[in-house]
Amino acid sequence: MNYRISHRTVYDYSEPVTVSHHAARLTPRITRGQTFEDFTIHIEPEPTIRKLRLDYFGNGVCFFSIQSIHQRLEVTASSIVVTSSETPVATGLSPGWESVARLFRDPVSPDVVEPFQFVFDSPLLCASPELAAYAAPSFTPGRPLLAAVSDLTQRIYREFEYDPVATTVSTPPAEVFAARHGVCQDFAHVAIACLRSMGLPARYVSGYLRTIPAPGQPKLVGADASHAWFSVFSPGLGWVDFDPTNGVMPSEDHISVAFGRDFSDVSPLSGIITGGGEHTVDVAVDVDAS
């Protein structure tokens, strides 16, 4: 699939901002099934300082500083991404989940040092006995790792209700777990915390998912949105993705942008400002396939 993606974010401030510093993580990742042919990011007002680099997790980051007085910030990222379908992973052929968990008990082999960091608590996520108890029915003795993770994904899909007004970016995962309501970010967080509670490495994935309108209805401009899912590390296969919001294993309709421990590592646009007062934010995403 070939995608043209536009991600536009506008901040309107009630008071002037005298200086602001921001980090934008909007560059598509290059993975086994994905590459990008073009990426540009337009920022208004024009930044005084602008630098591109990779962060600790290998995500492309645009750091910029605006040192002129402004009451509006507009950031538009445009990209052309190519995804390809891969042979579906045979979940039943993955190693038993207990044997994978044993690999991540200190001391660990040099072969799994990179995924080992995703076993631990992170800024927004903590392992807990309650989450381990919720995951346990999926992780029966001897069950293949990916079959167990697929089952957990399906259970979250069935038992949690998608509700865009039930949570905010700052809602703790414990509240989401108790209420069984939330959005894609929340469901990915719950799944990751469950897996870490079982001693398994799991990471957060941010990206996009193409929205297909109902039959006979036009596709609305800006109707697409950022999306989130998670990956689990399986020896011999590497990182394998699961989408608990839709109960699927992501394919060419999912476009990956950033990987991290949780949402705090991959926020599309973050920053610090001086002044500004109250603000409103408007986000519009278009994912057009050809």
Same domain, 53 and 108: no
Same domain, 215 and 175: yes
Q: How do residues 42-62 score in pLDDT, each as one tens digit?
A: 999 999 999 999 999 999 999
pLDDT (0 to 100) of residue 170 = 81
pTM: 0.94
Higher pLDDT, 216 or 176: 176
Provide the CATH number for the domain around residue 33: 2.60.40.2250
SS3 262: coil
Question: Is residue 255, in this structure, part of any structural domain at all?
Answer: no
Question: Is residue 15, in this structure, part of any structural domain at all?
Answer: yes
**Number of domains observed in the structure of the chain:** 2
Q: Which residue in 262, 119, 259, 256 sits closest to 195, CA to CA?
A: 119
| CB-based contact 206:285 (threshold 8 Å) | no
CA 167 → CA 144, 181, 211, distances in Å? 33, 8, 22
Mean per-residue pLDDT of the chain: 93
Provide the CATH number for the domain around residue 125: 3.10.620.30
Span 138-162, average pLDDT: 97
Q: Which domain holds residue 277?
A: 2-84+267-289
pLDDT (0 to 100) of residue 214 = 67
